Amino acid sequence: MKETDQTLIDKATSWTREPFDQETRQAVKHMIQEGGDALTDAFYRNLEFGTGGMRGIMGPGTNRMNKYTIGMSTQGLANYLKEQFGVGNASVAIAFDCRNNSPFFAQICADVLSGNGFEVLVFNGLRPTPELSFAIRHYKCRAGIMITASHNPKEYNGFKVYWDDGAQLVPPHDVRVVEEALKIESIKQVIWTGDPSRIRQLGRETDRLYTDQVKTLSMLSKDVIEQYADMPIVYSPLHGTGTELVPMALQAFGFSNVFSVQEQSITDGNFPTVVSPNPEEGEALEMAIELAQRKGADLVMATDPDADRVGIAVRNHQGDFVLLNGNETAVIIIHYLLEQWKQNQRIDGRQYIVKTIVTSYLIDKIAKSFDVECFNVLTGFKYIAEVMRNLEGKKEYIAGGEESYGLLVGDFVRDKDAVSACCIIAEAAAFARSRSMTLYGMLQKIHADYGLYKEHLVSVTRHGKKGAEEISAMMDRFRTQPPRELAGAEVVEVRDYKTGLITSIPGDETKPAGLATSNVLQFLLSDGSLITMRPSGTEPKIKFYFSVHDNQWNPNKESWEEGISRLLSRIDKIQLALDISN
């Protein structure tokens, strides 16, 4: 056995005895014998809630997703619900995606909750995250659980907790649920035996109720939809939960010529056709683009395994497919929605949209031009939902978005929703056709009207305990020794959301940041460029977000592609000056 901290060995050894099951005991014994990083990474900490809940690699250990960490977390939730609402006064909805062990983990959650006296509504098969959010609200549940690891590789799974408004947990509930879970020091404190009489299945009726609501989001006239109903659309669920509901919703909108990638419509937690089921990555859309070439489609869409995020590819002016990033898609869709709201005379000064602080500030500019308020929140869709909850009955929500391919149109769901987003994207493409344009052309026209903007994300991955320490040290360095200039532009403002202060440079004048505390740091440069850095709450990486723009861009003097290339070169120089690498 390799040298390992004795405290960690003692912690792992407790997993080699009853009441842990035989398979777990044997696996941990083998890990202890081997020692090294595998044992350390599995036991050096407990899984924690991040911006997307609890997410980790599956396997035995306190830092792994398994029936014991799931059960203890569920018991912590049950204890908190008892404290808030009393026993017998709450129901909880549960959904799960296509990942390996997802149905098993969902059953563990249902057993623990029903064993604690709660009514449990669990879907009878895999369903998208947004449908869970809808079900919580529709059936007036007190909470919900989604078993998913979103777009992470096949080794991962996750446990996302929702509150009674259908949104992910925010303070103080998230902290208190974790506190309750931490009070459980032994799996013997978990009520593992379920009560089947308290468990009810949800099925097609809920699907119909949800898709009926999605249909209400349509903005185009019936005549325009009918004119472009046969517009070819290619869709891939990437082996996940969008397999049935996305094509169903598109047909409900009136689009009758939808082609699904058959090889990727097979639900499979091993994701056999992709390296990673992440619609942010071009490789994940390759099969869909090949099908689009054969079918003559101009629009390709792909959703991640739990169908809350969507990536798209569109044809450029040369007829080649190009991928749009999350910022570009959000810009097109929000501009389209605001234009339709204005045309339908529905804007009266009460409307608003929400985005995150790392999402394109072109959206702020667009919203202002339509007399619609734009709120900026911390990264994580739960903060968008928090604004919606606080403004319910006071202002009218139109849409929200984040750069990581998440969109939410309408307020009957309180998390990002790729099912409805696919429908609105298709509708925007039909609208573009009615104007003799494409989505690619729409994006160029928006830039011509509002200025040229470009955003870029760099993720630096560091694995295990050592990697977590490196990421922490990197943040500490930028926080205590912020650069004075980057690529020829001075740093004029440091926004530190951990301290809650915005500091102007020079002068060191400070003012409150106005958002919740979070380990996020931003540098604003004299040319308007904005650099944001934050450790991921759900993955072993630190993310650097770059945003640059040119308000003086003239499409008559420089092509759109040349202007974007120039801005990307600017981002490269800033990245080089920061001295970061993966």
Quote the mean pLDDT of the chain: 94
| Neighbour tally for 289: CB within 10 Å | 20
What whole-number distance in Å separates Cα of residue 527 and Cα of residue 488?
9
Q: Residue 3: what pLDDT?
A: 45
Token pair of 36, please?
Answer: 């090294």
Q: How would residue 93 be classed by pLDDT, with cut points 50, 70 and 90?
A: very high
Token pair of 389, please?
Answer: 């909850």
Q: Residue 315: what pLDDT?
A: 97
Q: Looking at the annotation, which residues are catalytic? A: 150
Q: pLDDT at residue 362 above 80?
A: yes
Q: Residue 179: what pLDDT?
A: 84
What whole-number distance in Å separates Cα of residue 499 and Cα of residue 432?
45
Choice among 200-204, 218-222, 515-519, 539-543 with the minimum mean pLDDT: 539-543
Q: pLDDT at residue 10 above 50?
A: yes
The domains found in the chain, sorted by start residue, are 45-208 (3.40.120.10), 220-450 (3.40.120.10), 452-578 (3.30.310)
Q: How would residue 582 be classed by pLDDT, with cut points 50, 70 and 90?
A: low
Q: What is the pLDDT of residues 119-149, one digit of tens each?
A: 999 999 999 999 999 999 999 999 999 999 9
Chain centroid to Cα 295, Å, comes to 30
Highest mean pLDDT among 68-77, 226-235, 537-546: 226-235
Q: What is the pLDDT of residues 15-45, one digit of tens each?
A: 999 999 999 999 999 999 988 888 999 998 8
Q: pLDDT at residue 52 above 60?
A: no
Q: What is the mean pLDDT of residues 357-371?
A: 98
Q: Give the residue among 59, 57, 61, 135 at the shortest CA–CA distance from 96.
A: 135
Side-chain half-sphere CA neighbours of 258 within 13 A: 24
Query: Which 3 state secondary structure label does DSSP give 372?
Result: coil
Edge to edge, the sheet with strand 321-324 lists 258-260, 233-236, 299-303, 310-315, 321-324
DSSP E strand stretches across 208-345:
233-236, 258-260, 299-303, 310-315, 321-324
Between CA 574 and CA 582, with CA 580 as vertex, the angle to 5 degrees is 130
